[in-house]
């Protein structure tokens, strides 16, 4: 469990940290210049470490969740089941946002559509931060 949690926290640092840099560091500059190039450049660079980090999150997360609760109880209404459901819901949102960006936004990205991508980056960063909040809930036995 210690090694799983270690990898999970390492992946979380990469995933959340990368998106915060994108949101607060790269995006404002791109919006000011109405130029999607800085975002493109960052995504190309970050993808190579961000996607493996997300995969690590999913594998270690599902593994730890099954140590917390047998699969049959994941859809129950105990406090820990609620946390697992929260993680899975956020994972679904992350996948939808990722697919939407990859298939709909990025291929047709230009200065005009940049604010749309900006909103998208804000949402994915919020889900990343929410992952951390829900994760911390396991230690404290609930969401709040």
d(CA 23, CA 127): 13
Looking at 36, 38, 50, 135, which residue binds ligand HEM (CB under 6 A)? 135
Cβ burial of 107 (10 Å; 0-12, 13-18, 19+) is exposed
Residues in the chain: 144
Smallest separation, CB 65 to ligand HEM (Å): 4
Site for ligand HEM in 39-98 (CB under 6 A): 54, 57-58, 61-62, 64-65, 68, 84, 87-88, 91
Looking at 2, 32, 48, 139, which residue binds ligand HEM (CB under 6 A)? 139
d(CA 109, CA 130): 27
- 138 near ligand HEM, rule: CB under 6 A: yes
């Amino acid at each position: 469990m210690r090694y799983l949690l270690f990898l999970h926290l390492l992946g979380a640092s990469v995933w959340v940290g990368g998106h915060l840099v994108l949101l607060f560091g790269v995006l404002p500059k791109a919006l000011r210049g109405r130029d999607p190039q800085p975002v493109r450049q960052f995504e190309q660079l970050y993808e190579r470490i961000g996607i493996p980090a997300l995969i690590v999150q999913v594998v270690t997360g599902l593994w730890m969740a099954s140590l917390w609760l047998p699969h049959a109880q994941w859809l129950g209404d105990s406090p820990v089941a609620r946390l697992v459901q929260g993680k899975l819901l956020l994972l679904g949102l992350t996948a939808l946002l990722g697919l939407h960006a990859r298939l709909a936004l990025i291929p047709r990205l230009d200065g005009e559509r940049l604010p749309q991508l900006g909103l998208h980056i804000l949402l994915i960063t919020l889900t990343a931060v929410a992952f951390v909040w829900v994760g911390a809930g396991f230690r404290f036995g609930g969401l709040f």
